[in-house]
Every structure is written in C-alpha cells, then in structure tokens.
Structure 1
Amino acid sequence: MIPTVSVTRYITPLREGGSLPGLVEADDLGTYVCKFRGAGQGVRVLIAEVIVGELARRLGLHTPRLVALELDPEIARYEADEEVQDLLNASPGLNLGVDFLPGSFGYDGEAPAGDHDAATVVWLDAFCANVDRTWRNPNLLLWHGNLWVIDHGASLYFHHAWSGGVTDPARFADQPWDPADHVLLGQVRALGETDARLSALVTPELIADVVAEVPDAWLDGAGTAGVEGAEQHRAAYVSFLTARLGSRQWLPKVAG
C-alpha cells in the first residue's frame, strides 16, 4: 500500500477546491496537500485518487507522490477556523496526502505539453472516465519544465452507484467518454498508436497491483452493500477496470 506518515502540523486551507483540502506537515519532514476523508465526497474520492494516480505513474506520467496521512483530531484544537476544525474532527485516521510541489503553476496552454504526454493523459482520462480535466479546471501543473497530472477524484464514477451493491461491470466497460471539453484534446493528433502502447502496459495484473495500493481503511469504510472487507472491494475495482480494458467503446476518435 501507499506509505503511511503522521500529520504533525496543519498549515493552511487551500480554498481553490470545493472539498477544502489543506496544506500539512508530516513526521517524514514532507509537506503535503491533505485531502480529508471527512469531506462531503467521502472516501471513494480518495480511492479514485490512488488508483488513477498510481496508474498514471505506471504509464510514465509525472504525478505527485501519494501517502496516507494519519491524522489525530487533537490538531484541531489549535485551529481558529471553525470550518477547518469541523473537517479535522470529522477526519480521524487515514487521509490522503499529495506531495506539495513548491513553485509549480497551473497549466494555461502556453507551455507545450508534447503530443506523447498529451495523448497519454487523454487515454488515461478516457479509460478511467475522468470528467474533470477541462479548461475550467485543468488539474495539470507545470513544475521543473514537466507536465504533472493531479486531482483524479472525479474518475471512476461507477463506484458512486454502489450504495445499493456492486453494479454490472459491463455497463462501465462500454460507457462512451466525451472528450469535447478536454484541455489537451487539441494537442492530440491520433490515439491509435497510444492505445496500442498503453494497452500492452495496462494488464489485469498491473490493475491489481495499482488497486492494492489503496489502504484497507478506506475500502472498509466505503459502505458498499453486499461487499465485506477490503479484499472484496479490491476485487470489484479490478473487475470493473479489467472489463473496461476489454472494450474500446470508451476510446474517443481524435482527428488532429
């Protein structure tokens, strides 16, 4: 699983997103953007962040290191903001830490991403059904001359329908993905070669390895009816993503 470190200090809230992530320090001397399990979207967003983020890493994309942040709500005693206090008190245990990239800035289209990176990002977003990589919210950073992909919580929407039990993987496998608003679409000339290259990398075994990175505590806390324990949850994610891998209904046709 992703490594676990403990939060030692809450620094400041980051109010760009709706879930109020915060900048924290940890006992490994790292500084992280903390995404809280007690936020309104719940632990399934954190699960998607790990699965898609670690998949991006294995596809050769730059993405910040992820850790599980052990949070003691006692830290809330020293926070004056009541909204932040409530969030800290609602998030004991493991939260998601995303390595802070000091000096990075948001992608605005000025710096070329390069066709190889752009096509890989579009392929990944199509495969994982990410609906949040638009000009309104690119979720891309530029750091040390490289393009970094961040914020994958809007991916894997299928698990939000699991409140009544795990649904049919075939429905997600064949669900089309609309690339029209994607921030990098204009830089992609074709996806056929990228699809062939990445499909050879994304095997069922690699999917299982990526899903294994998710902490048990989040899977146990996901509250899926009819699913008992972390391993059954993992098997469900592997089943859905493997089914998606066996289809190409989701792959957009791109004419550059």
Structure 2
Amino acid sequence: MGEQGRPTEPEISTNERIVCCIGDLHGHISKLQKLWSNLETVISPPSFQTALIIFLGDYCDKGPDTRSVIDFLISLPSRYPKQTHVFLSGNHDLGFAAFIGVLPPPPDGSTFAETWKGSEQYGEKVGWYKGAGYENMHLQGRLWGGPVDSNAASTFQSYGIPYGSTGLEKTKGVQEQLKLLRARDTSQPMIVALTGRSNVLDIPQELVDCPTPTMLVSGHHGKLELNGLRLIIDESGGKERKPLAAVVLPSMMVVRDIW
C-alpha cells in the first residue's frame, strides 16, 4: 500500500487497468475538483484516460454545493470518453431520489406508502416530511426531507430552495444481498447495504473463502480503512476540515484533495 505525497512524476502504469475508488463527496465541489486534479497528476495520462472510476455514493447533503458536484459528475463521460464511470448510490442519494420521485416503483405492485408501516411512531418522533407529495413517497424520502435525519438542508439550498455504499451484511448470503440491490427493490423500507453501520463493516467470510477472493469496497462509514480485502473509503465523512480520499487500484495508493 502506498500513500501519496507530492509526486515528482506520474505513477508508472502497469498492464492492468487502473481503478480509482472515490469516497463520499457530500456536496464538496472544491474538494472533488482538487482530488480529481491530483489523480490526474499521480496517474500516467494513458492510464488515467482509460481508467475505471468508481464513485462510492453519497454525493449530496452536508457540504455547500451538491448541485455543482452532480453537474461535475454528469460532465465526466463527455470530458473523458475513454474512461468508464460507475456511480453507486449511497443512503443520502437514496433519500434524495425518493424525495424527488425518481425511484422505480416497487416490483410487487405495492405503493411507496407501504414502506411506512411499522415505523409511524418513529416518524412522529423525528419528524417525517409531511409536505406536498408525501402521500406516496418512499420512507427514505420522508426521512430525508424531514428536519432531522440526513443534513439535507444544504442540498435544497444548492438548488436555490430554502429549507424550513456501506457494505454487505456479514451474516447474510452475498448473492441474496446482491440480488436485492440489483433488482432495485423499492418495496423495502430500509436497504441495509445502503443504511447499515456496524452490521456492514466487516467483509462476509463467503467473499474471503471463495476460489477467487473478492474485494469489498464502500464509503459511508466516515473513515479510511484498508484492511486486506475490505476497503472503506470515506475519510472526510462529509466534513470540510477532513480530506477527501480516493484509492487507486491495483497499487493501493491513497490520493487526497490535499497534499
């Protein structure tokens, strides 16, 4: 594992394709711009131009300019047409998408209001969103738009509106969890792989023991931890004073928005 200082020349590329895993952005456009510039500096141009760039989710909330972050991400395919860009959803993005009504409908034909069942008492306590359009809003949208849950005020403000990827569970089968995620099953009130904490910190033993050991990479947890096949890349946790980090594979080089 290498941790970057100020480089004197770009990193020497290998025959293997470069993969950059970028942690939670949380509305910090200046951090994202600096980190991107630093990645371009430490990775040789041919390798960077064809890299696989994986954003680990949580693009919105906390920081001051979610709108500019999303605009930056949208621009990448046209600016870097030879790169491959993967944008994973985090729990904050799930809430944002639910609030503005862009989630796919539940595959079982149920309504989003069904996701509230069993949580109404909690909703009264924390203050679910009760404004226009709430009647058929997914639970995560009502939580996100409420006054407490996810620091969403800065996201509203970045669009000029005043405001009044965690991991996999260790104890459940990997394929079962991946099937749920790939299906985008919005009938579920909580998506543990997006919202969990201690129960998704460790890598499932199934991934360690399989014939081809599989790496599990996520953000979400507010720390940078590179532990064998389990990488957690969220050093900033959305905080301005802490660095935004990315990890370059296969070298395991850590690159930050600050030198």
TM-score w.r.t. the length of structure 1 is 0.24
Larger Rg belongs to: 2
Higher relative contact order (CA 8 A, sep 6+): 2
TM-score w.r.t. the length of structure 2 is 0.23
